[in-house]
Amino acid sequence: MTHRAIDKPVGNTIRMTESIDKIISALELEPHPEGGYYKETYRSLGEIKEESLGQVYKGKRNYATCIYFLLMSDNFSALHRIKQDEIWHFYDGSPIKLHVISELGNHTVHIIGRDLHNGETPQFIVPGGCWFAAEVINKNAYSLVGCTVSPGFSFEDFELKTRKELVSLFPDKEEIISKLTHH
């Protein structure tokens, strides 16, 4: 798979840096169902038994998991949710705009990046059960982040609804839902 080269901001100038292909290859990333690329980098050996997790979980879970997640400006991470809290960690590239819709329908936007003086945060926690999506802020850019989940991530805990289903849940959020869903 070939992607176009990307620009990386350096001070007030932009210089050509690595290609998306080099990042994908170096980190051994695979396409993610919600958009972007990922690789699981950690899954704890220890596990939490189902009876200790509560009724929302079926089966046991690892204590924690962690992934690399790469997103490009020509795509987005579609609205989805998981049962667990998810911690986002900023590594490189453009800041990310993270949209969160709570179970009550409150929409908030958080900027994950390293420019602390302009309101960016290098780490953000999405509460379990919230719908969330991410987009790269700068054009012709990428964002490389990490996501840590505890109890550990399982695709059994992952939910990706259609645009129509989400709009039926949050009719007053139709504009942002339409922007951040693939279908």
Residue 7 domain flag: no
In a domain, 82, yes or no: yes
**What is the structure's pLDDT at 17?**
40
Answer whether residue 144 is part of any domain: yes
Say if 171 falls within a structural domain.
yes
Residue 153 carries which DSSP code?
A: P
Query: Which CATH number does the domain housing residue 150 bear?
Result: 2.60.120.10
Q: How many domains does the chain have?
A: 1
**pLDDT tens digits, one per residue of 114-154:** 999 999 999 999 999 999 999 999 998 999 999 999 999 99
For residue 50, is pLDDT > 90? yes
On whether residue 85 sits in a domain, the answer given is yes
> What one-letter code names the amino acid at 135?
E
- Residue 164 domain flag: yes
Residue 13: predicted pLDDT: 26
Q: Which residues contact 116 (CB under 8 A, 6 or more apart)?
A: 122
**Residue range 11-34, pLDDT digits in tens:** 322 332 457 888 999 999 999 888
81 lies in which domain range? 33-179
Domain assignment present for residue 24? The answer is: no
Q: Are 159 and 80 in contact (CB under 8 A)?
A: yes
> Cis (ω within 30 of 0) for the bond into 151?
yes
Euclidean distance between CA atoms 26 and 175, whole angstroms: 37
The pLDDT value given to residue 182: 86
**Does the residue 23 lie in any domain?**
no
Confidence band for 61, pLDDT divided at 50, 70 and 90 = very high
> pLDDT-derived band of residue 72, with 50, 70 and 90 as boundaries?
very high
